[in-house]
Structure 1
Amino acid sequence: MKIGKSVKTLIAGTMAVACLASVAACGPGSSSSKSNANSEPVSTDVSKEKVELKLWDGAGLKTFDDQLIAAFQKKYPNITIKATYDPDNTSQQNGPRIISAADTPDIARITDINSAVRGKHLVNLDEYSKAYGWDLPDSQTQVYRVDSNGKIGSGSLYAVPDGISMTGLYWNKKLAKELGITEAPATVADLEADMKKATDAGKLAMMMPAKEGGTSYIYQALLTNYEGRDTVQNWIIQKDGATFNTKGALKAAQKIKDWQDAGYFSKDALALDGSTALSRFSNGEALFFPSGSWYTASINDALSDNAGWIAYPGEKADSGSAAANAVSAFGIPANAKHKNAAAAFLNFLQSDEARQIAVDNGYPPVGEGKTPSTDNQLLGQVLTAYEGLVKTGNTTDYINNATAGMQASAIIPGFQSLLDGTMTPQQFVDSIQKQYEKEAK
């Protein structure tokens, strides 16, 4: 099966990072909206009545969605789905308005779980989960759960992912072989040794797109390694008492600065965007490239069997980690006219057929079970890495998503200042926490 390339773009990657860009401002949860005039008894039998569902998502995911919709309609010929899409650069801000409208879609991408639940604009999916027997890994649903006190991270389920987007470390096997490196780094120490070997040989160790905050990917891996998965995830979901001002956060910042000073990163890192970094890495200009799974098709096409992927290595072997979240997280707005039919679509997202469609579009699938097949050898490595991470549970959401303004107001300027030396590692850590406290409630 061929991998669809249209979603393997920077836009798709940006959407993946931003799909929960407002994990902030939690409020009291609710299972329904008072304005909803159509309360359906929960049922999994949707095969009789002819129904037209409306679905809303971002335009960058149209190809993926169209394939899911076609397969669903084949299974349920009595149900049709009419999809509408917003431009990717406006879907984030439009999301809350879309799901709260009187004529809301039946299925919608949830861009801000906090305001959606606080405003009573989403259906509580617990009864559907019981009826269908959903068994999704906690790592894939934690940020879509809200408890009775309005806190993210546990409680009732309000959205279901259609696929997973994750970060990791690409590596050029051909260049590695020229340097005498025969296998991917298994630990942070191995990674450092490999980068030193590349630099000593006059080769670029790591392509670093710092212009758009790409440094956060490798930094978050170090942070997770030093602090542990739960500490990082608790900060992202704003658990009481969570703070960024930790020894691990400082140690990770110092490590990034040390690598910058050692010349391991691109000399023009501060001006390097993701698409340019992708092009250069695909041309064989660096040993490593920390980025996201959304680039697998492009890199596989360019480097073929010379392209490798691993989860970010930890302090010890087999302790790798990754940042990961939904490609789109679909929920059912409280004002949806056809909730049972919409729930059938959410259930379909977890089927073997939908999992295969996710892989065909370059994404690790939701749920557990046999890994779908792919003829993209690089994506195959991503799927294997993710399958292992699901078992260990060593994934978090993106630190960029901790608050709505974190990426633009703290992550991007903070890492640039850390790299150019205008901020010390401690000042960098303080700046991230300051933005967090400014927004978190």
Structure 2
Amino acid sequence: MKIGGKIKSVAAGVLAVSCVFAFAACGPGSSNAANTTANDEPVSTDLGDQKYELRLWDGAGLKTFDDQLITAFQKKYPNITIKATYDPDNTSQQNGPRIIASADAPDIARVTDINSAVRGHHLTNLDNYSDAYGWKLPDSQTEVYRVDAQGKIGSGSLYAIPDGVSMTGLFWNKNLAKKLGIDKAPATMGELEQDMKKAKDAGVLPMMMPAKEGGTSYIYQALLTNYEGRDAVQNWIIQKDGTTFNTKGAVKAAEQIKSWADSGYFPKDTLALDGSTALGRFCDGEGLFFPAGSWYTDSINKALGDGAGWIAFPGEKSGSSGSAAANAVTAFGIPATSKNKNAAAAFLNFLQSDEARQIAVDNGYPPIGDGAVPETDNQLLAQVLTSYEALVKSGNTTDYINNATAGMQASAIIPGFQSLIDGTKTPQQFVDSIQSQYEKEIS
């Protein structure tokens, strides 16, 4: 990895809104929008000198990122103008299916519910564009944007392209670790638990844990992946037939979370602690570990500097690349009613260029693709990029369990973890509640 150049400041508070729990509603759901008539256009990568005016729609938290991508794209294609509109992050998820399904849909749009969009024939199949441009993105970055002829997510035709990646992992305070006699990040979950016990015995908070908004799901999902394997977790998220959350591994992971809570490894106010408050406290030096997302990299790096570290969630055995939940910052698709599909596809192709990948990194995101890692002098982001590069090679990433259904986050994840931690639900009852919500929605 090269470390150089200059990283631009990211407003972590704003991005947290769009990139953290807004993800929870990015999974399959339903739409009552009426079918629209698709505008067919022969596939071509040659746009000539014709003037195009495209419209793009996204969530407001990504405006800075999108504006930079659009500016760079327009320099490459001076005959194409893109006008962007943005919805507030707390409404973009619910508005997404309606916007994509409208007769006057934008040419490029954030895909918030690929299941209903494809089922309603509201998105353009990108396979021909993929062939024409020669797109070769890693499967881990496109799996959840593929839908087969039976309407199942995970394989088949491609309907969206990510612009960058947000991923979960484990931040750690190296300065606190040094005071505790810990000189390296934990290589296994067992070592993580040993380090937390050492912190607790020394009067240091072992793990910053914002349980108010479902943040516990990040470390829980890492445990679940260790116990059940990547494919089992991913298959459940994408609603593959015959999958279930009610497994021994899911219960074991819940037991581990409950054990850590009972041992005092989480803040005393963990049930009332939201993500932004937890971030502020960790930046102030409270907490040895903080399981969170890469979207916090800029804030933590500014606060702790070289004292901040990041690793993928460790596995059960030393030597693995670890695991992470990862998803697109925005997955862009082309609505079926777009009148300028070839020009819109040129923008999706640009997202995979070295220039766009650098813009992603400049905004604090791992880039799509598996080419040379772009430069950054944010040492913490450099650690994120290194860990993501290894995860792309190992393939040990999944989508977020929060994304399994549209209502999973609000109806099951948040109340479920709160009830698990406070003892209202047993680990088995917690697991049952997750699967119950899942079955309720997919049926």
Range class of TM-score, shorter chain: over 0.9
* 2:307 corresponding residue in structure 1: 306
State the distance in 1 between where 2:112 and 2:200 align: 41
CA positional deviation for 1:317: 1.7
**Contact conserved, 1:21 with 1:400, CA < 8 A, in 2?**
yes
- The amino acid across from 1:118 in the alignment is R
Question: Aligned to 2:424, which of 408, 422, 432?
Answer: 422
- The amino acid across from 2:434 in the alignment is I
Question: Aligned to 2:27, which of 7, 12, 23?
Answer: 23
Q: Secondary structure at the match of 1:9?
A: helix
CA positional deviation for 1:38: 3.3
**Contact conserved, 1:15 with 1:88, CA < 8 A, in 2?**
no
Q: Note if 1:254 corresponds to 2:255.
A: yes
Unaligned runs of 5+ in 1: 28-32
Q: Note if 1:334 corresponds to 2:336.
A: yes
**Contact conserved, 1:13 with 1:294, CA < 8 A, in 2?**
no
State the distance in 1 between where 2:413 and 2:18 align: 14
Q: Secondary structure at the match of 1:433?
A: helix
Q: Deviations over 1:111-161 (max 9, x none)?
A: 100110011000000000000000000100000000000000000000000
CA positional deviation for 1:36: 3.5
* 1:324 corresponding residue in structure 2: 326
State the distance in 2 between where 1:122 and 1:38 align: 11
CA positional deviation for 1:39: 1.6
- The amino acid across from 1:60 in the alignment is G
Q: Deviations over 1:33-59 (max 9, x none)?
A: 984463210000113211011000000
State the distance in 2 between where 1:14 and 1:359 align: 17
State the distance in 2 between where 1:19 and 1:199 align: 32
Q: Note if 1:3 corresponds to 2:4.
A: no
**Contact conserved, 1:13 with 1:292, CA < 8 A, in 2?**
no
CA positional deviation for 1:3: 2.8
CA positional deviation for 1:6: 3.7
**Contact conserved, 2:189 with 2:316, CA < 8 A, in 1?**
yes
* 1:393 corresponding residue in structure 2: 395
Q: Note if 1:277 corresponds to 2:281.
A: no
**Contact conserved, 1:17 with 1:401, CA < 8 A, in 2?**
no
* 1:78 corresponding residue in structure 2: 79
State the distance in 1 between where 2:64 and 2:209 align: 29
Change (3 A) 1:219 1:249: same
Quick check: 233-242 or 8-17, which moved more? 8-17
Q: How many residues align?
A: 436
Give the alignment of 1:42-441 within 5 angstroms. 42-319=43-320, 320-441=322-443
State the distance in 2 between where 1:35 and 1:18 align: 27
CA positional deviation for 1:4: 3.2
CA positional deviation for 1:8: 2.4
Q: Deviations over 1:369-399 (max 9, x none)?
A: 1000001000000000000000000000000
State the distance in 2 between where 1:22 and 1:80 align: 28
**Contact conserved, 1:11 with 1:88, CA < 8 A, in 2?**
no
CA positional deviation for 1:327: 0.2
State the distance in 2 between where 1:193 and 1:106 align: 52
**Contact conserved, 1:58 with 1:86, CA < 8 A, in 2?**
yes
Change (3 A) 1:353 1:258: same
- The amino acid across from 1:429 in the alignment is V
TM normalised by structure 1 equals 0.96
Change (3 A) 1:22 1:60: closer
Change (3 A) 1:174 1:20: closer
State the distance in 2 between where 1:351 and 1:13 align: 27
Change (3 A) 1:38 1:244: closer
CA positional deviation for 1:173: 0.3
- The amino acid across from 2:276 in the alignment is S
State the distance in 2 between where 1:122 and 1:37 align: 9
- The amino acid across from 1:380 in the alignment is A
Q: Secondary structure at the match of 1:378?
A: helix
* Segments ≥4 residues shifted beyond 6 Å: none
State the distance in 1 between where 2:14 and 2:421 align: 23
CA positional deviation for 1:14: 4.5
**Contact conserved, 1:22 with 1:114, CA < 8 A, in 2?**
no
CA positional deviation for 1:103: 1.3
Q: Deviations over 1:226-258 (max 9, x none)?
A: 000000000000000110000100000000011
State the distance in 1 between where 2:35 and 2:259 align: 55
Change (3 A) 1:310 1:11: same
CA positional deviation for 1:97: 1.1
State the distance in 2 between where 1:22 and 1:330 align: 13
Unaligned runs of 5+ in 2: none
**Contact conserved, 2:19 with 2:166, CA < 8 A, in 1?**
no
- The amino acid across from 2:432 in the alignment is D
Q: Secondary structure at the match of 2:25?
A: coil
Change (3 A) 1:414 1:177: same
CA positional deviation for 1:11: 4.5
State the distance in 2 between where 1:434 and 1:34 align: 31
**Contact conserved, 1:17 with 1:325, CA < 8 A, in 2?**
no
CA positional deviation for 1:25: 4.9
Quick check: 373-382 or 34-43, which moved more? 34-43
**Contact conserved, 1:167 with 1:291, CA < 8 A, in 2?**
yes
State the distance in 2 between where 1:396 and 1:7 align: 26
Change (3 A) 1:16 1:277: closer
State the distance in 2 between where 1:346 and 1:85 align: 18
* 1:30 corresponding residue in structure 2: none
Q: Secondary structure at the match of 2:82?
A: strand
State the distance in 1 between where 2:79 and 2:24 align: 33
CA positional deviation for 1:22: 4.8
